C-alpha cells in the first residue's frame, strides 16, 4: 500500500518534472490537454470528501496536492503555453467517455447518494481518462520521452494498487469491488503502452510507432 502511494507520488513528481522541463523548452508537444482535463475532473469529484471525513494529515494534504497539480497542469496547457499545445492532434471526443461513465456511475455504485455517485464517477473516469492521450500518440505516431515516462508512472501506480488490494483482501478482508474492477480495466488499457515503453523507451529510443 505504501509502495502504491509512493509510486502515486512519483507519478506526480514526474508530472511536475514534465511541466518544468516544458517551461525550459516552452513546449508541451505530445501531451493531451483533454486527458489532463479529465484527470482534473477525476480528482475534483473524488476528493469532495475532504470536507466530510478526515483520515490523516498525509491523506488530506495529498488530496489537495493532487487537485492543485491537476488544475495547474490544465492551466499551463490551455493558458500559459497554449502556443505549443498541439490541439490539432488532440481530437478524442471526451463526451464518448464522460457520458457513458456518468450513466454507469448512477447504475452501479455502493450507495445512491450524491457524494458516493461522484466518487464512483471519478473511479470509472480515471480508468479511461488516459484514452485521449493514447489516441493522440497513436495519431501522431510518436511521443516525447518525458511524456512516456510520465505515462508509465501514471499507469504503474494503479497497477501497484492491484497488489495492495490483493494484500488488503488477504490480510484485512477488505475489498472495494468498484475500485478493483476499474483498476484492472485501467491497467489493461496501459498494457500496450507498457510494452512499447519497455521495448522502446527503456532501450534509449524515442517512442515512435510504425506508420
Partner 1 sequence: EDTVPEKDEL
Strands 142-143 and 207-208: antiparallel
Q: Which of 24, 53, 107, 211 binds partner 1 (CB under 8 A)?
A: 53
Q: Which CB, 66 or 135, lies closer to partner 1?
A: 66
3-state secondary structure of 143: strand
Q: How far is the CB of 116 from partner 1 (least distance, A)?
A: 6
Contact with partner 1 (CB under 8 A) among 119, 135, 152, 190: 119
Q: Closest CB to partner 1 among 49 and 86?
A: 49
Spell out where 127-173 has E strands. 142-143
170 binds partner 1 (CB under 8 A): no
Among 37, 179, 196, 201, binds partner 1 (CB under 8 A): 179
Tell me which of 44, 86, 116, 185 binds partner 1, using CB under 8 A: 116
Contacts made by residues 124-127, CB under 8 angstroms, sequence distance 24+ = 124/178, 124/182, 125/38, 125/41, 125/42, 125/45, 125/97, 125/98, 125/101, 126/39, 126/42, 126/46, 126/158, 126/182, 126/186, 127/158, 127/182, 127/183, 127/185, 127/186, 127/189
142 binds partner 1 (CB under 8 A): no
**Residues at the site binding partner 1, with contacts judged by CB under 8 A:** 1, 5, 8, 49, 53, 55, 59, 62-63, 66, 110-111, 116, 119, 161, 164, 174-177, 179
Amino acid at each position: 500500500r505504501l509502495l502504491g502511494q509512493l509510486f502515486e507520488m512519483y507519478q506526480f513528481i514526474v508530472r511536475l518534472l514534465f511541466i518544468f522541463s516544458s517551461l525550459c523548452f516552452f513546449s508541451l508537444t505530445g501531451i493531451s490537454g483533454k486527458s489532463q482535463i479529465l484527470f482534473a475532473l477525476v480528482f475534483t469529484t473524488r476528493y469532495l470528501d475532504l470536507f466530510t471525513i478526515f483520515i490523516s494529515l498525509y491523506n488530506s494534504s495529498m488530496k489537495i496536492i493532487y487537485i492543485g497539480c491537476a488544475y495547474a497542469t490544465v492551466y499551463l496547457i490551455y493558458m500559459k503555453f497554449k502556443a505549443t499545445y498541439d490541439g490539432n492532434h488532440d481530437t478524442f471526443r471526451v463526451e464518448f467517455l464522460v457520458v457513458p461513465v456518468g450513466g454507469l456511475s448512477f447504475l452501479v455504485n455502493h450507495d445512491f447518494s450524491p457524494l458516493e455517485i461522484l466518487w464512483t464517477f471519478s473511479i470509472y473516469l480515471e480508468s479511461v481518462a488516459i484514452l485521449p492521450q493514447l489516441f493522440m500518440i497513436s495519431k501522431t505516431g510518436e511521443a516525447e520521452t518525458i511524456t512516456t515516462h510520465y505515462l508509465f508512472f501514471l499507469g504503474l501506480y494503479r497497477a501497484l494498487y492491484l497488489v495492495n488490494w490483493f494484500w488488503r483482501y488477504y490480510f484485512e478482508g477488505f475489498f472495494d469491488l468498484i475500485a478493483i474492477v476499474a483498476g484492472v480495466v485501467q491497467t489493461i488499457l496501459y498494457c500496450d503502452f507498457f510494452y512499447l515503453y519497455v521495448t522502446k523507451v527503456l532501450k534509449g529510443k524515442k517512442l515512435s510507432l510504425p506508420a
